[in-house]
């Protein structure tokens, strides 16, 4: 099983505002006194590899109007970057057994020579 490579930690801060009389009139069964309006957020994106080493890949802090909309826009940008990173192919190198530490494949000089000769023969045929 592979661990989740990316984690996003985020936090919002809200201002409270009193409800207007029109908003209060719309309430039927609930008595509300105020509403929460987001005005600041921060987040960090952390990449964790299979050895549980972590690296902060990006972060953002915003304070101002439309904080929720800006947060969503920034997360969509982060998602695009994460998907690009995860879709890139990674080279897997397994050279030796981790138990006995012997090489899996040892190059044999005779076979390497045969490959070189076959390559030259194919190049001659192609010409």
Tell me if 96 is assigned to some domain.
Answer: no
**113 lies in some domain:** no
Per the structure, the complete domain to which residue 76 belongs is given by: 6-87
- Give the model's pLDDT for residue 22: 75
Whether 50 maps to a domain, the answer reads yes
The tally of domains found in the chain comes to 1
Q: Is 116 part of a structural domain of the chain?
A: no
What was the pLDDT predicted at 1? 47
pLDDT < 50 regions, the chain? 1
Residue 17 has, within 13 A of its CA and on its CB side, a CA count of 10
Say if strands 34-48 and 6-18 run parallel, antiparallel, or are unpaired.
antiparallel
Q: Which residue blocks in the chain are alpha helix, DSSP H?
A: 21-26, 67-87, 109-126
Within a domain: residue 110?
A: no
């Amino acid at each position: 099983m592979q661990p989740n490579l990316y984690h996003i930690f985020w936090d919002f801060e809200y201002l409270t505002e009193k409800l207007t009389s029109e908003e209060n009139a719309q309430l039927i069964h609930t008595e509300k006194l105020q509403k929460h309006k987001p005005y600041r957020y921060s987040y960090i994106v952390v990449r964790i590899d299979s050895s549980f080493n972590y690296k902060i890949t990006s972060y953002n802090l915003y304070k101002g109007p439309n904080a929720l909309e800006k947060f969503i826009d920034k997360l969509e940008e982060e998602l695009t970057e994460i998907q690009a990173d995860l879709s890139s192919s990674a080279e897997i190198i397994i050279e030796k057994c981790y138990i006995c530490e012997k090489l899996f494949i040892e190059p044999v000089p005779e076979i390497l020579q045969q490959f070189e000769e076959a390559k030259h023969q194919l190049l001659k045929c192609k010409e």
